[in-house]
C-alpha cells in the first residue's frame, strides 16, 4: 500500500477510530499516535498484491485459516493498527462466524502471516519500523516484504519468542511458510510482470 500523507499532530486512539468512522472511503494506519492515510500504488504493486492474495487463497482453501487483502486492517496492539497488502489468520476469532462478527471492532486481531508489497512511499517503513512492529506481535510467525523494483522477497521468520531469521529470496527460490505449513515459488508472485512468468 502506498503512503499518501502523515498527520502533523499526534492523535489519540479514540480520535483515530472517529476518523475511520467518518471517512470509510480511505484506509488509515495508526502507530503510537501517528496516523497515515494509505492509497493505492502502481500497476505492478497492484499485480503483486493480487498475486499474493490469489496464492494464499489457493493454499488455504482446505485449511481452517482466512486470507485477507488490503481492505482488512490489523490490530497489533492497543496503539498500533496497520493495513498490510495481505494477511492470514488461523484463529477462529478472526473468522466469519456470528460470534466472531459480533466483536466490537472489525480488525484482524490474531494474524500469523503478514505481507507488504513495497512502494516508494512505504519502502523505509515496511523494511524498518514495521519489521519491529510485526516482530513484537506475538501471533505473527512470518512477515514477507515483496520488492516491486526487482524480483526479491525478504522473509522474516520467527524462530523463538525473541529470535527471527531473515531469508532473502529470488525467482529460483520458494517461500516456506511455517505459520500455515505451506510453500510456493517466488516466481509465482511475479507472474505477469516483466520479472517472472508471463503466461496465464
pLDDT in tens, 133-179: 999 999 999 999 999 999 999 999 999 877 999 999 999 999 999 99
* Domain assignment present for 158: yes
| pLDDT score for 31 | 93
Indicate which CATH number applies to the domain containing 87.
3.90.1570.10
* Domain assignment present for 6: no
* Domain assignment present for 124: yes
Residue 199: band (very low, low, confident or very high) from pLDDT cuts 50, 70, 90: very low
Task: Tell me the pLDDT tens digit for each residue of 12-71.
Answer: 999 999 999 999 888 899 999 999 888 767 899 999 999 999 999 999 999 999 999 999
Per-residue pLDDT for 192 more than 90? yes
Per-residue pLDDT for 123 more than 80? no
* Domain assignment present for 15: no
* Domain assignment present for 131: yes
Task: Tell me the pLDDT tens digit for each residue of 92-113.
Answer: 999 887 766 665 568 999 999 9
- Mean pLDDT value of segment 194-198: 71
Residue 78: band (very low, low, confident or very high) from pLDDT cuts 50, 70, 90: very high
Q: How many Å separate Cα 137 from the centre of its chain?
A: 13
* Domain assignment present for 32: no
Tell me which residue range forms the domain holding 176.
Answer: 42-189
Please state the domain count of the chain. 1
* Domain assignment present for 34: no
| pLDDT score for 10 | 85
| pLDDT score for 124 | 65
* Domain assignment present for 144: yes
Q: Within 10 A of 200 (CB to CB), how many other CB atoms are there? A: 5
Pull the grid cell for residue 129: 519500523
Amino acid at each position: 500500500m502506498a503512503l499518501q500523507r502523515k498527520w502533523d499532530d499526534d492523535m489519540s486512539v479514540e480520535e483515530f477510530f472517529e476518523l475511520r468512522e467518518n471517512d470509510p472511503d480511505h484506509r488509515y494506519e495508526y502507530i503510537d499516535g501517528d496516523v497515515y492515510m494509505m492509497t493505492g500504488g502502481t500497476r505492478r504493486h497492484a499485480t503483486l498484491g493480487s498475486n499474493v492474495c490469489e496464492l494464499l487463497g489457493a493454499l488455504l482453501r482446505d485449511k481452517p485459516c482466512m486470507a485477507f487483502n488490503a481492505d482488512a486492517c490489523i490490530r497489533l496492539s492497543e496503539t498500533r493498527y496497520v493495513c498490510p497488502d495481505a494477511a492470514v489468520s488461523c484463529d477462529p476469532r478472526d473468522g466469519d462466524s456470528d460470534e466472531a462478527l459480533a466483536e466490537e471492532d472489525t480488525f484482524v486481531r490474531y494474524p500469523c502471516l503478514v505481507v507488504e508489497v513495497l512502494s516508494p512511499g512505504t519502502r523505509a517503513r515496511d523494511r524498518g519500523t514495521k519489521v519491529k512492529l510485526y516482530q513484537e506481535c506475538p501471533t505473527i510467525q512470518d512477515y514477507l516484504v515483496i520488492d516491486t523494483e526487482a524480483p526479491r522477497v525478504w522473509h522474516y521468520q520467527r524462530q523463538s519468542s525473541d529470535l527471527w531469521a531473515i531469508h532473502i529470496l529470488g525467482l529460483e527460490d520458494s517461500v516456506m511458510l511455517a505459520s500455515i505449513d505451506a510453500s510456493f515459488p517466488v516466481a509465482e508472485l511475479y507472474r505477469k510482470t516483466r520479472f517472472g512468468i508471463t503466461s496465464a
